[in-house]
Amino acid sequence: MTASTAIGERSDRERRIGRVVKGVFLACAVLTVLITVGIIFTLLRDATTFFAQVPVADFLTGTEWKPTQLTGDGEYKFGVLPLLSGTILITVVSAVIALPTGLAAALYLSEFASETTRSVLKPALEILAGIPTIVYGYFALVYITPFLEWIGLPVETFNALSASIVVGVMIIPMVSSISEDALSAVPDDLRQAAYGLGSTKFDTSVRVVVPAAVSGIFSSFVLALSRAIGETMAVTVAAGQTPRMLSILEIDQNLLQSSETITAAMVNVAHAEGGGGTPAYYSMFALGLVLFVFTFSLNIGAEIIRDRLREEYQ
Protein backbone atom coordinates (compact mmCIF):
# COMPACT_ATOMS: atom_id res chain seq x y z
CA MET A 1 0.00 0.00 0.00
CA THR A 2 2.62 2.51 1.08
CA ALA A 3 4.95 1.26 -1.58
CA SER A 4 2.46 1.82 -4.39
CA THR A 5 1.74 5.37 -3.19
CA ALA A 6 5.46 6.07 -3.21
CA ILE A 7 5.70 4.83 -6.76
CA GLY A 8 2.67 6.88 -7.71
CA GLU A 9 4.24 10.00 -6.22
CA ARG A 10 7.52 9.31 -7.87
CA SER A 11 6.02 8.81 -11.29
CA ASP A 12 3.97 11.97 -10.77
CA ARG A 13 7.13 13.87 -10.03
CA GLU A 14 8.90 12.23 -12.93
CA ARG A 15 6.10 13.22 -15.24
CA ARG A 16 6.28 16.84 -14.09
CA ILE A 17 10.05 16.92 -14.56
CA GLY A 18 9.60 15.31 -17.95
CA ARG A 19 7.19 18.03 -18.98
CA VAL A 20 9.51 20.84 -17.82
CA VAL A 21 12.47 19.26 -19.58
CA LYS A 22 10.50 18.91 -22.78
CA GLY A 23 9.54 22.58 -22.50
CA VAL A 24 13.19 23.58 -22.16
CA PHE A 25 14.16 21.56 -25.22
CA LEU A 26 11.27 23.03 -27.18
CA ALA A 27 12.46 26.51 -26.17
CA CYS A 28 15.92 25.73 -27.56
CA ALA A 29 14.39 24.64 -30.85
CA VAL A 30 12.16 27.69 -31.04
CA LEU A 31 15.15 29.93 -30.31
CA THR A 32 16.60 28.95 -33.69
CA VAL A 33 13.49 30.30 -35.36
CA LEU A 34 13.86 33.47 -33.30
CA ILE A 35 17.36 33.91 -34.73
CA THR A 36 15.92 34.02 -38.23
CA VAL A 37 13.18 36.36 -37.08
CA GLY A 38 15.84 38.48 -35.39
CA ILE A 39 17.91 38.66 -38.54
CA ILE A 40 14.96 39.67 -40.70
CA PHE A 41 13.63 42.14 -38.13
CA THR A 42 17.01 43.79 -37.55
CA LEU A 43 17.77 44.10 -41.24
CA LEU A 44 14.33 45.50 -42.04
CA ARG A 45 14.29 47.96 -39.14
CA ASP A 46 17.72 49.46 -39.70
CA ALA A 47 17.37 49.37 -43.48
CA THR A 48 14.14 51.32 -43.06
CA THR A 49 16.01 53.91 -41.02
CA PHE A 50 18.53 54.08 -43.83
CA PHE A 51 15.90 54.50 -46.50
CA ALA A 52 14.36 57.34 -44.52
CA GLN A 53 17.64 59.20 -45.09
CA VAL A 54 18.54 57.93 -48.54
CA PRO A 55 15.72 57.31 -51.02
CA VAL A 56 15.32 53.69 -52.09
CA ALA A 57 15.54 54.72 -55.74
CA ASP A 58 18.92 56.41 -55.18
CA PHE A 59 20.18 53.27 -53.45
CA LEU A 60 18.97 50.85 -56.11
CA THR A 61 19.94 52.90 -59.16
CA GLY A 62 22.94 54.86 -57.90
CA THR A 63 26.19 54.14 -59.71
CA GLU A 64 28.50 55.55 -57.06
CA TRP A 65 29.34 54.13 -53.62
CA LYS A 66 31.09 56.57 -51.30
CA PRO A 67 29.53 56.00 -47.88
CA THR A 68 32.17 57.57 -45.63
CA GLN A 69 34.08 60.02 -47.79
CA LEU A 70 32.52 63.17 -49.10
CA THR A 71 32.50 63.34 -52.89
CA GLY A 72 33.32 66.48 -54.89
CA ASP A 73 29.79 67.84 -54.58
CA GLY A 74 29.90 67.50 -50.79
CA GLU A 75 27.68 64.43 -50.55
CA TYR A 76 27.95 60.81 -49.57
CA LYS A 77 26.95 58.40 -52.31
CA PHE A 78 24.98 55.26 -51.60
CA GLY A 79 24.47 53.59 -54.97
CA VAL A 80 24.42 49.80 -54.69
CA LEU A 81 25.00 49.07 -58.39
CA PRO A 82 28.81 49.13 -58.39
CA LEU A 83 28.84 46.76 -55.42
CA LEU A 84 26.27 44.54 -57.09
CA SER A 85 28.34 44.36 -60.24
CA GLY A 86 31.43 43.51 -58.21
CA THR A 87 29.53 40.69 -56.50
CA ILE A 88 28.14 39.39 -59.79
CA LEU A 89 31.54 39.49 -61.48
CA ILE A 90 33.29 37.51 -58.75
CA THR A 91 30.40 35.08 -58.32
CA VAL A 92 30.21 34.32 -62.05
CA VAL A 93 33.94 33.81 -62.50
CA SER A 94 34.21 31.66 -59.38
CA ALA A 95 31.24 29.63 -60.62
CA VAL A 96 32.99 29.07 -63.96
CA ILE A 97 35.85 27.55 -61.97
CA ALA A 98 33.92 25.67 -59.31
CA LEU A 99 30.87 24.21 -61.05
CA PRO A 100 32.60 22.06 -63.72
CA THR A 101 35.40 21.09 -61.33
CA GLY A 102 33.02 20.20 -58.53
CA LEU A 103 30.75 18.22 -60.84
CA ALA A 104 33.73 16.37 -62.31
CA ALA A 105 34.94 15.50 -58.82
CA ALA A 106 31.46 14.30 -57.86
CA LEU A 107 31.14 12.17 -60.98
CA TYR A 108 34.55 10.65 -60.40
CA LEU A 109 33.77 9.89 -56.77
CA SER A 110 30.40 8.34 -57.46
CA GLU A 111 31.07 6.44 -60.71
CA PHE A 112 34.78 5.76 -61.09
CA ALA A 113 36.71 5.99 -57.82
CA SER A 114 37.81 2.89 -55.95
CA GLU A 115 37.05 2.68 -52.25
CA THR A 116 40.66 3.62 -51.42
CA THR A 117 40.70 6.64 -53.72
CA ARG A 118 37.41 7.79 -52.27
CA SER A 119 38.68 7.58 -48.71
CA VAL A 120 41.54 9.93 -49.64
CA LEU A 121 39.82 12.23 -52.11
CA LYS A 122 36.72 13.02 -50.08
CA PRO A 123 38.48 14.30 -46.95
CA ALA A 124 40.97 16.15 -49.14
CA LEU A 125 38.10 17.98 -50.80
CA GLU A 126 36.60 18.75 -47.39
CA ILE A 127 39.85 20.46 -46.42
CA LEU A 128 39.21 23.03 -49.14
CA ALA A 129 36.00 24.01 -47.36
CA GLY A 130 37.64 23.99 -43.94
CA ILE A 131 40.34 26.56 -44.55
CA PRO A 132 39.31 29.94 -43.12
CA THR A 133 38.33 32.46 -45.77
CA ILE A 134 40.80 35.02 -44.44
CA VAL A 135 43.54 32.54 -45.27
CA TYR A 136 42.18 32.23 -48.80
CA GLY A 137 42.30 36.01 -49.03
CA TYR A 138 45.92 35.94 -47.95
CA PHE A 139 46.67 33.22 -50.54
CA ALA A 140 45.15 35.36 -53.27
CA LEU A 141 46.88 38.56 -52.26
CA VAL A 142 50.33 37.24 -51.50
CA TYR A 143 50.76 34.25 -53.81
CA ILE A 144 48.14 34.15 -56.58
CA THR A 145 48.30 37.79 -57.67
CA PRO A 146 52.10 37.71 -58.03
CA PHE A 147 51.69 34.43 -59.93
CA LEU A 148 49.21 36.07 -62.30
CA GLU A 149 51.70 38.89 -62.80
CA TRP A 150 54.43 36.35 -63.45
CA ILE A 151 52.46 34.69 -66.25
CA GLY A 152 52.13 38.11 -67.83
CA LEU A 153 48.70 39.37 -66.82
CA PRO A 154 48.68 43.11 -66.06
CA VAL A 155 46.89 42.71 -62.72
CA GLU A 156 46.61 45.38 -60.06
CA THR A 157 47.72 44.56 -56.51
CA PHE A 158 44.08 44.07 -55.64
CA ASN A 159 42.12 42.38 -58.39
CA ALA A 160 38.87 40.57 -58.93
CA LEU A 161 40.51 37.64 -60.74
CA SER A 162 42.60 36.37 -57.83
CA ALA A 163 39.60 36.75 -55.53
CA SER A 164 37.40 34.81 -57.97
CA ILE A 165 39.96 32.00 -58.19
CA VAL A 166 40.10 31.44 -54.44
CA VAL A 167 36.34 31.77 -54.01
CA GLY A 168 35.96 29.21 -56.80
CA VAL A 169 38.32 26.77 -55.09
CA MET A 170 36.59 27.34 -51.78
CA ILE A 171 33.15 26.34 -53.10
CA ILE A 172 34.29 23.24 -55.03
CA PRO A 173 33.55 20.94 -52.05
CA MET A 174 30.03 22.32 -51.79
CA VAL A 175 29.32 21.40 -55.41
CA SER A 176 31.11 18.06 -55.22
CA SER A 177 29.57 16.77 -51.99
CA ILE A 178 25.96 17.67 -52.80
CA SER A 179 26.27 16.56 -56.44
CA GLU A 180 27.83 13.31 -55.32
CA ASP A 181 24.92 12.65 -52.99
CA ALA A 182 22.57 13.20 -55.91
CA LEU A 183 24.59 10.97 -58.25
CA SER A 184 24.84 8.21 -55.66
CA ALA A 185 21.08 8.40 -55.12
CA VAL A 186 20.44 7.41 -58.74
CA PRO A 187 19.13 3.82 -58.51
CA ASP A 188 21.59 1.17 -59.68
CA ASP A 189 18.86 -0.31 -61.91
CA LEU A 190 19.37 2.55 -64.33
CA ARG A 191 23.08 1.86 -64.58
CA GLN A 192 22.51 -1.86 -65.00
CA ALA A 193 19.96 -1.20 -67.71
CA ALA A 194 22.40 1.06 -69.55
CA TYR A 195 25.20 -1.52 -69.32
CA GLY A 196 22.77 -4.17 -70.50
CA LEU A 197 22.14 -2.12 -73.61
CA GLY A 198 25.87 -2.10 -74.30
CA SER A 199 26.74 1.31 -72.88
CA THR A 200 30.23 1.98 -71.64
CA LYS A 201 30.92 3.65 -68.32
CA PHE A 202 31.30 6.95 -70.12
CA ASP A 203 27.92 6.63 -71.87
CA THR A 204 26.28 5.55 -68.65
CA SER A 205 27.62 8.36 -66.52
CA VAL A 206 27.17 11.14 -69.06
CA ARG A 207 23.89 10.09 -70.64
CA VAL A 208 22.12 8.23 -67.86
CA VAL A 209 23.41 9.04 -64.38
CA VAL A 210 24.01 12.78 -64.78
CA PRO A 211 20.63 13.46 -66.43
CA ALA A 212 18.91 11.41 -63.74
CA ALA A 213 20.59 13.42 -60.99
CA VAL A 214 20.25 16.76 -62.72
CA SER A 215 18.05 18.41 -60.12
CA GLY A 216 20.43 17.51 -57.30
CA ILE A 217 23.36 18.78 -59.33
CA PHE A 218 21.53 21.97 -60.15
CA SER A 219 20.65 22.42 -56.51
CA SER A 220 24.34 22.12 -55.58
CA PHE A 221 25.16 24.77 -58.19
CA VAL A 222 22.61 27.16 -56.72
CA LEU A 223 23.89 26.62 -53.17
CA ALA A 224 27.44 27.21 -54.33
CA LEU A 225 26.41 30.48 -55.98
CA SER A 226 24.73 31.55 -52.78
CA ARG A 227 27.88 30.75 -50.86
CA ALA A 228 30.01 32.73 -53.32
CA ILE A 229 27.72 35.75 -53.05
CA GLY A 230 27.97 35.73 -49.26
CA GLU A 231 31.71 35.15 -49.18
CA THR A 232 33.35 38.05 -47.40
CA MET A 233 36.93 37.97 -46.19
CA ALA A 234 38.71 36.47 -49.19
CA VAL A 235 37.01 39.03 -51.39
CA THR A 236 37.71 41.93 -49.04
CA VAL A 237 41.38 41.07 -48.79
CA ALA A 238 42.05 40.12 -52.41
CA ALA A 239 39.75 42.31 -54.49
CA GLY A 240 40.31 45.52 -52.59
CA GLN A 241 37.86 48.33 -52.05
CA THR A 242 37.24 50.13 -55.28
CA PRO A 243 33.53 50.15 -56.07
CA ARG A 244 33.40 49.90 -59.84
CA MET A 245 30.61 49.63 -62.36
CA LEU A 246 30.95 46.60 -64.60
CA SER A 247 31.17 47.27 -68.25
CA ILE A 248 30.45 44.30 -70.48
CA LEU A 249 32.88 45.49 -73.13
CA GLU A 250 35.77 45.77 -70.70
CA ILE A 251 35.05 42.72 -68.60
CA ASP A 252 38.61 41.45 -69.05
CA GLN A 253 39.90 44.80 -67.76
CA ASN A 254 37.49 44.72 -64.82
CA LEU A 255 38.80 41.32 -63.82
CA LEU A 256 42.33 42.60 -63.57
CA GLN A 257 41.32 45.67 -61.59
CA SER A 258 40.36 46.18 -58.01
CA SER A 259 36.68 45.79 -57.28
CA GLU A 260 34.36 45.84 -54.28
CA THR A 261 31.55 43.42 -53.47
CA ILE A 262 28.50 43.98 -51.26
CA THR A 263 30.10 41.98 -48.47
CA ALA A 264 33.43 43.80 -48.72
CA ALA A 265 31.61 47.14 -48.60
CA MET A 266 29.90 46.08 -45.37
CA VAL A 267 33.22 45.18 -43.79
CA ASN A 268 34.81 48.42 -44.94
CA VAL A 269 31.97 50.54 -43.58
CA ALA A 270 32.12 48.64 -40.28
CA HIS A 271 35.80 49.54 -40.09
CA ALA A 272 35.28 53.20 -40.87
CA GLU A 273 32.24 53.59 -38.61
CA GLY A 274 33.04 53.12 -34.95
CA GLY A 275 29.75 54.18 -33.38
CA GLY A 276 26.40 54.30 -35.05
CA GLY A 277 23.61 56.56 -36.11
CA THR A 278 25.17 57.81 -39.35
CA PRO A 279 23.71 56.95 -42.75
CA ALA A 280 26.84 54.89 -43.40
CA TYR A 281 26.10 52.78 -40.32
CA TYR A 282 22.56 52.09 -41.48
CA SER A 283 23.73 51.46 -45.03
CA MET A 284 25.38 48.27 -43.76
CA PHE A 285 21.94 46.97 -42.92
CA ALA A 286 20.54 47.93 -46.31
CA LEU A 287 23.41 46.02 -47.90
CA GLY A 288 22.84 43.17 -45.46
CA LEU A 289 19.20 43.09 -46.50
CA VAL A 290 20.13 42.88 -50.19
CA LEU A 291 22.61 40.12 -49.42
CA PHE A 292 20.13 38.23 -47.26
CA VAL A 293 17.39 38.43 -49.90
CA PHE A 294 19.75 37.06 -52.56
CA THR A 295 21.21 34.20 -50.53
CA PHE A 296 17.90 33.33 -48.87
CA SER A 297 16.05 33.04 -52.18
CA LEU A 298 18.86 30.98 -53.68
CA ASN A 299 18.89 28.63 -50.67
CA ILE A 300 15.12 28.20 -50.78
CA GLY A 301 15.32 27.67 -54.53
CA ALA A 302 17.96 24.97 -54.07
CA GLU A 303 15.76 23.26 -51.52
CA ILE A 304 12.74 23.26 -53.82
CA ILE A 305 14.82 21.78 -56.63
CA ARG A 306 16.15 19.09 -54.31
CA ASP A 307 12.70 18.19 -53.04
CA ARG A 308 11.64 17.61 -56.61
CA LEU A 309 14.51 15.14 -56.97
CA ARG A 310 13.38 13.23 -53.91
CA GLU A 311 9.91 12.85 -55.36
CA GLU A 312 11.30 11.42 -58.57
CA TYR A 313 12.78 8.36 -56.90
CA GLN A 314 10.28 7.60 -54.18
Q: Total number of residues binding another protein (CB under 8 A)?
A: 96
Q: How far apart are CA 233 and CA 248, in angstroms?
A: 26
For the bound state, the minimum distance from the C-beta of residue 270 to another protein, rounded and expressed in Å, comes to 5
CB-CB contact of 227 with 102 (8 Å): no
Establish if 14 lies at the interface with another protein (CB under 8 A).
Answer: yes
Establish if 90 lies at the interface with another protein (CB under 8 A).
Answer: no
Establish if 274 lies at the interface with another protein (CB under 8 A).
Answer: yes
Establish if 199 lies at the interface with another protein (CB under 8 A).
Answer: yes
> What does the per-residue mask of binding to another protein show for 59-88, with x meaning CB under 8 A?
------------------------------
Sites for another protein among residues 137-156 (CB under 8 A): 137-139, 141-144
Q: Measured at the alpha carbon of residue 158, what is the angle toward residues 78 and 229, in degrees to the nearest 5?
A: 55
Enumerate residues 6+ apart whose C-beta is below 8 A from 245: 63, 81, 82, 85
Establish if 11 lies at the interface with another protein (CB under 8 A).
Answer: yes
241 three-state secondary structure: coil
For the bound state, the minimum distance from the C-beta of residue 150 to another protein, rounded and expressed in Å, comes to 13
Q: How far apart are CA 290 and CA 301, in angstroms?
A: 17
- List the one residue from 134, 251, 272, 304 that touches another protein (CB under 8 A): 134
Nearest to 284 by CA among 36, 41, 42: 42
Sites for another protein among residues 92-131 (CB under 8 A): 100-101, 103-105, 107-109, 112-113, 121, 124-125, 127-128, 130-131
Q: Within 13 Å, how many C-alpha atoms sit on residue 78's CB side?
A: 26
